């Protein structure tokens, strides 16, 4: 869900409800079912074939997503190598590629 430049990823409401019902070991379920909050996406073309997206998860951890594809049109049209891609589309890409996230250190 995208709201005010923020994306919520991975929420599991049924697991959260089940965790509340069983207090003894339910706190572990509740903590695992919390959604991750993705904010501050920035994106830049390194070359005509590589797009790098940087973003923050839960206001503390920084992640990066590297996409390879044909971005020649965006590369030629931009003067500062920041493609004209709407933020909503960037959030959709981030959500769709969760398994490809890299944690920056």
pLDDT digits over 53-103, tens only?
999 998 899 999 999 999 898 888 888 888 888 999 999 999 999 889 999
Q: Give domain status of residue 64, yes or no.
A: yes
CA angle (99 as vertex; 96, 101 as ends), nearest 5: 95
Q: Give domain status of residue 81, yes or no.
A: yes
CA 86 from chain centre, in angstroms, equals 14
Beta-carbon count within 10 A of 31 CB: 10
Single pTM value for the model: 0.76
Q: Give domain status of residue 89, yes or no.
A: yes
Q: Give domain status of residue 47, yes or no.
A: yes
User: What residues contact residue 74 under an 8 Å CB cut-off, 6+ apart?
Assistant: 45, 83, 84, 85
Quick one: how many helices (H) and strands (E) in the chain?
A: 4, 5
Over its C-alpha atoms, the chain yields an Rg (Å, rounded) of 17
Q: Is 56 left (phi over 0), alpha (psi -120 to 50) or beta?
A: beta
Instruction: Read off the pLDDT of residues 1-34 as tens digits, 9 standing for 90 and up.
Output: 677 778 877 665 555 555 556 655 556 655 666 7
Q: Give domain status of residue 60, yes or no.
A: yes
Domain of residue 87 covers: 36-103
Q: Give domain status of residue 31, yes or no.
A: no
Q: How many domains does the chain have?
A: 1
């Amino acid at each position: 869900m995208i709201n005010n430049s923020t994306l919520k990823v991975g929420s599991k409401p049924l697991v959260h409800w089940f965790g509340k019902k069983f207090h003894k070991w339910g706190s572990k379920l509740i903590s695992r079912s919390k959604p991750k909050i993705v904010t501050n996406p920035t994106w830049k073309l390194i070359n005509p074939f590589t797009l790098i997206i940087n973003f923050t998860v839960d206001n503390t951890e920084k992640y990066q997503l590297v996409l390879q594809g044909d971005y020649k049109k965006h590369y030629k049209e931009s003067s500062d190598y920041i493609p004209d891609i709407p933020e909503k589309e960037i959030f959709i890409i981030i959500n769709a590629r969760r398994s490809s996230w890299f944690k920056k250190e």
